[in-house]
Structure formats: C-alpha cells, structure tokens
C-alpha cells in the first residue's frame, strides 16, 4: 500500500511541489544524490574511485515532453563525458541514461529523437573511452527501449541494458541478452506495475531474480548484479563460481548512499563494484522511488517533517 502510494506520488506534480519546497528534504536527498552541478558529480565520482569502486553517473531527469529539454539532456551528458575524459576518470566511470529524458515520450517522433540523442551520448562515451547503460523505466517502455538498444548496439556493441526481474517477460529477455559481449544490468524493478505483467510479492520477485541471474551467469555476456539484497549478492557469487566465471567477467552494482560498507567489502575482495551516482536538479522522481523501496527511509523523512522549525 505504502509503496504504491509513494510510487503514485512520484508522478504527481502537486506532491512534487510540496516535497521540493520543504527545506529538510534537501538534507535527506543528499544521501542519495551527489548534488545539482556537474562539479558535484565529478567530485563524488573521484571520491568513489579513490576507494576502489567504479561508477555509473546519471544526469537526473525523466518523462520529458519538450524536445529542447531532451536535446539539453544529451548535451549535459556530452559535457559530463568530456569532464570524465579530462579528469582521467573515464576508466572507472561510465554513464546511465533514461530514454524518457532524451525524448522517448515526445508526442511526435519520440522514439526516433530518443535514439538520435542516445546516439550522441554513445559517440561522446566512445570518444572518452567509456560506456553507456540504458536504464529501464516502466513496462510500457520495455519494447521501445530494447529496440533502441538493439539499434545502438550495431554501432556500439558495449551498450548496456537493464532488465527488471519483477517483469514476467524478463527470463526470456535474459536469454536474448545473454549473448557474447552483452552487458546486462539485472535489477528487481522500481516502478508500480500491474499484476498482469509483473510479480508483486518480495518472495516471487526474489525467485524471479535468481532465475534471471542463472540465465545471465550461464551465458556469454557480462552480468551486472544490481542489488543491495544480501541473498542476491551471495547467490550471484555462487553462480559465478559454479559457471567458472572470473571476477572480471561480471560486476556488482549498488545505488549511491545505500549499503556503502558492503560496497567497500565487495571491492576489497577484488570484485568490480559499481556505484550508480545521480546528480542534477531533477531529483524528485528518483528520490521518491528510493523512499518507496524502504520504509525506514520514509520514517526518517516524516520525522524530519514533524520536527521542522
């Protein structure tokens, strides 16, 4: 119930205005977001790389209905990738992109514009010597996102895609995307989805995650295990071992600000541990999804609201 309400609120302009104007929100947002500026992102990225972690940077934004804004987001990624190249961080840092931020939902030619903007970002990443991963949004975008990914992979075979274990279709998608050289980030899924397309309970989603992980670990691709769940992390390690995978043939991924000690432990063991690092002004949707994932985050937020002033 609570999760559904928060996920619905994540798309409500009215709630957004209230939450964004509430002063203590910003202190809490800082836990999950590097800051609003490119410099904030580069500094946080540098700090993470210095501790043996790798990074994927997300210029926050989603659901753009404006072509100029979509092009502006592509440009922001180009600046980011130039900065990563110039600071020598590109070896340890790639970028994650939401297609809805670069035009996928535009009423006219949305998919085509998103493809072209994503292509600009891929070209900048190739120039910087790093990679791009396409985030996955709600299930209405899955076919479109995977089809754009297939097109981009013709020129940029290193392009990563995200698959969400809670979707009933994902085990089959994993079979297609477990091919050689294919980078696949497997996460549980963060959106409110109907039962017709997605498993609903934690146990069902966890079992689906393990089934999908089995396919990816047995395949020829490069699995990216995106989870904070101790059970999933343990099972991923075991599956990698059973499939004779070396540590450089898969990686772990977690979100900035969540389980940092575990991130450091996995990195110290010699694993690639990549941190998803968001930055920018459009933090609202991302922040609300983080609240929805964990009641303790919400309690913290509500306590701050109750004690304001």
- Which residues are catalytically annotated? 135, 185
Please work out the total of residues on this chain that contact ligand FAD, with binding judged by CB under 6 A. 24
Letters for 190-209 (x = contact with ligand FAD by CB under 6 A, - = none) are: xx------------------
What is the Cα–Cα distance from 29 to 258, expressed in whole angstroms? 12
Q: How far is the CB of 211 from ligand FAD (least distance, A)?
A: 15
The DSSP output letter for 270 is T
Q: Judged by CB under 6 A, does residue 65 bind ligand FAD?
A: no
Q: 3-state secondary structure string, 75-104? A: HHHHHHHHHHHHCCCCCCEEEEECHHHCCC
- Binding residue (CB under 6 A) for ligand FAD from 294, 295, 299, 302: 294
Neighbours of 7 (CB within 10 A): 20
Site for ligand FAD in 101-140 (CB under 6 A): 135-136
Q: Per rule CB under 6 A, is residue 31 in the interface with ligand FAD? A: no
HSE (CB half, 13 Å, CA atoms) of 275?
A: 29
Q: Is 297 in the site for ligand FAD (CB under 6 A)?
A: yes
Nearer residue to ligand FAD within complex by CB, 7 or 178: 7
Q: Is 53 in the site for ligand FAD (CB under 6 A)?
A: no
Residue 52 near residue 267 (C-beta atoms within 8 A): yes
* Residue pair 156/140 in contact by the 8 Å Cβ criterion: no
Cβ at position 160, least distance to ligand FAD in Å = 10
Q: Is 188 helix (H, G, I), strand (E, B) or coil?
A: coil
Closest C-alpha among 55, 100, 62 to residue 80: 55
Q: In angstroms, how far apart are the furthest CA atoms of the chain?
A: 57
> By CB under 6 A, is residue 145 in contact with ligand FAD?
no
User: Which of residues 111 and 135 has its CB atom nearest to ligand FAD in the complex?
Assistant: 135
Give yes or no for residue 141 binding ligand FAD (CB under 6 A): no
Question: Which one of 16, 119, 169, 228 is in contact with ligand FAD (CB under 6 A)?
Answer: 228
Q: Is 262 in the site for ligand FAD (CB under 6 A)?
A: no
Closest CA to 75 of 83, 48, 256, 130: 83
3 touches ligand FAD (CB under 6 A): no
Contact with ligand FAD (CB under 6 A) among 45, 81, 84, 254:
254
Q: How far is the CB of 309 from ligand FAD (least distance, A)?
A: 27
> Residues 161-180: x/- map of binding to ligand FAD (CB under 6 A)?
-x-x----------------
Residue 258: is it exposed, middle or buried by C-beta count within 10 angstroms (0-12/13-18/19+)?
Answer: middle
What's the DSSP call for residue 280? S
Q: What are phi and psi of 156, to 5 degrees?
A: -130, 80
- Least CB distance to ligand FAD at residue 290 (A): 4
**Rounded distance, CA 86 to CA 258, Å?**
28
* Alpha-carbon gap, residue 162 to 41, rounded angstroms: 22
> What backbone torsions phi and psi does residue 66 show, to the nearest 5 degrees?
-130, 120
CB nearer to ligand FAD: give 178 or 292. Answer: 292
Shortest CB 264 distance to ligand FAD, Å: 16
Q: Which residues bind ligand FAD (CB under 6 A)?
A: 135-136, 162, 164, 185, 187-191, 226-229, 232, 253-255, 258, 276, 290, 293-294, 297
């Amino acid at each position: 119930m609570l999760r559904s309400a928060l996920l619905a609120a994540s798309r409500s302009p009215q709630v957004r205005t209230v939450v964004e104007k509430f002063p203590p929100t910003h202190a809490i947002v800082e836990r999950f977001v590097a800051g609003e500026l490119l410099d904030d992102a580069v500094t946080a990225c540098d700090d993470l790389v210095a501790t043996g972690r790798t990074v994927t940077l997300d210029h926050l934004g989603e659901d753009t209905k404006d072509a100029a804004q979509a092009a502006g987001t592509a440009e922001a990624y180009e600046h980011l990738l130039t900065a990563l190249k110039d600071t020598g961080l590109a070896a340890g840092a790639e970028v994650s992109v939401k297609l809805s931020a670069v035009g996928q939902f535009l009423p006219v030619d949305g998919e085509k514009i998103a493809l072209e903007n994503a292509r600009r970002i891929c070209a900048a990443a190739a120039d910087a010597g790093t990679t791009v991963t396409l985030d996955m949004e709600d299930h209405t975008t899955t076919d479109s996102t995977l089809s754009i990914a297939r097109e981009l992979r013709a020129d940029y075979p290193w392009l990563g895609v995200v698959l969400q274990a809670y979707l009933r279709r994902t085990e089959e998608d994993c079979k297609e995307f477990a091919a050689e050289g294919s980078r696949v980030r497997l996460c549980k899924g963060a959106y409110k989805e109907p039962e017709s397309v997605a498993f609903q309970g934690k146990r069902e989603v966890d079992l689906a995650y393990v089934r999908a992980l089995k396919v990816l670990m047995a395949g020829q691709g490069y699995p990216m295990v995106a989870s904070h769940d101790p059970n999933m992390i343990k099972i991923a390690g075991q599956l990698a071992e059973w499939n004779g995978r070396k540590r450089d043939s898969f990686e772990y991924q977690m979100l900035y600000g969540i389980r940092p000690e575990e991130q450091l432990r996995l990195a110290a063991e010699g694993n690639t541990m990549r941190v998803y690092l968001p930055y920018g002004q459009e933090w609202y949707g991302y922040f609300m999804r983080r609240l929805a994932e964990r009641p303790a985050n919400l309690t913290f937020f509500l306590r701050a609201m109750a004690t304001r002033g």
